[in-house]
Amino acid sequence: MAVIISFFLVALIYAIVGFGGGTSYIAILTMAGTDFKLIPVLALICNLVVVTSGCWQFARSEHFKWSLIWPFCVSSVPMALLGGMMRISERTFMILLGSSLLAVALKLLIVDRFAKRDYEVKPSSRIGALCIGGVLGLLSGMVGIGGGIFLSPLLLLLRWATPKQIAATAAFFILVNSFSGLIGQLSKGIPSDAIASNWLLFVAVFLGGQIGSRMGVSQRVSQRGIVDVTAILVLIVAVRTLWQI
């Protein structure tokens, strides 16, 4: 029950800023002792459930900037598929997982504080977007995250869009990468009954994502303190994961 409640809260919190919550799902599943082969699949499915609603809400509010979005997706989707199809050892998975979670924790605790400052939007680089999308797509497929939590701070630091456009871009980026990465992961022959037995997790993130995405579009919630707590949790799991390798 604790895992289900945790998934609900993660979905709610992350959906506010356009994220799927994949990194935190992975952290929770890792602490719960879930089979490492199943972790990316469950995290990607939960990502899809959460960000689908978020994308719909951002689209209705006209926050999508397609000229910014498509270069990232063109390169990330095939790389996410490739990453998902790659068969890696548990040690390699744990190294990638720990490193990714550590980067996420530092991003949430440090980078966001500087990115919150007012700034003037600058023209984006398509070549730069293609390169960034490819790297993040590969990592997303291998580890089981959507990549938006890395893309968002990069866009904020590069000043390529407004905060709302960045949240919308991250949500769509997570959506397409999670779908592509999931196809790759499923090609490894993950048992369907092992996935179906976790259906309560999918229900929990659906409900949390519905609430969070609406709160995010309304701009009525300040989540700095909650994000700090989440970041500390992810940091602890990252250090614990890397320490045990």
Cβ(117)–Cβ(72) below 8 Å? no
Please state, in angstroms and rounded to a whole number, the distance separating the CA atoms of residues 20 and 230: 14
If one counts every other C-beta atom within 10 angstroms of the C-beta of residue 199, the result is 9
Residue 105's alpha-carbon distances to 95, 100, 120, 176, 198, in angstroms, are 15, 9, 26, 23, 26
Please state, in angstroms and rounded to a whole number, the distance separating the CA atoms of residues 75 and 118: 30
In this prediction, residue 46 carries a pLDDT of 92
Structure token digits, residue 210: 């519905």
C-alpha angle with apex 208: 68 to 225, nearest 5 degrees?
Answer: 75
In this prediction, residue 12 carries a pLDDT of 87
In this prediction, residue 217 carries a pLDDT of 57
Residue ranges of domains in the chain: 2-243
In this prediction, residue 116 carries a pLDDT of 54
In this prediction, residue 129 carries a pLDDT of 92
pLDDT in tens, the chain (245 residues): 889 999 999 888 878 766 778 878 988 998 888 888 899 899 989 989 988 877 887 777 777 888 888 999 999 999 988 988 888 887 887 788 788 778 877 877 776 665 555 557 788 889 999 999 999 889 888 877 788 877 877 787 788 887 778 878 888 988 888 888 889 888 888 888 889 999 999 999 999 988 887 776 555 555 555 566 567 767 877 787 788 77
Please state, in angstroms and rounded to a whole number, the distance separating the CA atoms of residues 243 and 94: 10
pTM confidence score = 0.76
In this prediction, residue 96 carries a pLDDT of 81
